[in-house]
Amino acid sequence: MMSVVGAQPFIKPMQPSPSVSPGIQRRHTLPASEVRPLNTQDAISVFEIEREAFISVSGDCPLHLDEVRHFLTLCPELSMGWFEEGRLVAFIIGSLWDQDKLTTEALTLHKPRGSTLHIHVLAVHRTFRQQGKGPILMWRYLQYLRCLPNVRRAVLMCEDFLVPFYRKSGFKVVGRCAITVANLTFTEMSYPISGHAYMRRNSEAIRFPQHPLTLPLTKTDEQVDV
């Protein structure tokens, strides 16, 4: 499993909040929005979102529940979840791969020494679609990958109608994917991972050395559309 303790993504140390009278403090401590790695306790929420998003369109899910748990056990640091007041609203799950092209084995294997990040799935809860959350989460995920020294590129496979969506995030078409699922065929796309992670203008999210991916979301992020 890759170590990310040394990876220093992009969170500016949070300024201490001004003292607030106990009488007007929030009744809970859940942040309004946060992005963090997923864990096996999130698996059911992940699968429920994924099942609703994919089965009605494709008839199957990229990852079944046991496969979600599998990857969140092997490489949770390669996942990212967006939470609103503790509720999962969007997520990405990835694993490492060690070949130039995706093969059927890439659907279930994690290759810790690989330099290719295989993005298995990006999904957004139906209540939160058409709000720009998918592109925002992908942007943050790709920036995070820049902080992992062994990762050289990100790849994914998608149905043809999703190619324009991923192109907007900077992915380029590699060609027809060798993997087929039932009658479905896919396009393989790739994104080069190079340079340093950077923040958006006016974003307060810059770096956090001890807890990778725990990113408080900013108004700038939430205003981006799909």
Known catalytic residue: 166? yes
Known catalytic residue: 65? no
Cβ proximity of 187 and 177 under 8 Å: yes
Known catalytic residue: 191? no
Known catalytic residue: 141? no
Q: How many CB atoms lie within 10 A of CB 65?
A: 15
- For strands 215-216 and 172-181, give the pairing: unpaired
Q: Of the residues 95, 169, 190, 203, which is catalytic?
A: 95
Q: Of the residues 141, 144, 166, 191, which is catalytic?
A: 166
Q: Of the residues 74, 109, 115, 162, which is catalytic?
A: 109
Q: Of the residues 122, 137, 145, 148, which is catalytic?
A: 122
Known catalytic residue: 95? yes
Dist. CA 151–CA 144, nearest whole Å: 10
Q: Of the residues 70, 118, 120, 125, which is catalytic?
A: 120
Q: Phi first, then psi: give them for residue 207, nearest 5 degrees.
A: -160, 155
Cβ proximity of 150 and 112 under 8 Å: no
Dist. CA 140–CA 80, nearest whole Å: 9
Rg (CA), the chain: 18
Sign of CA dihedral 53, 54, 60, 64: negative
Cβ proximity of 89 and 124 under 8 Å: yes
Active-site positions? 95, 109, 120, 122, 166
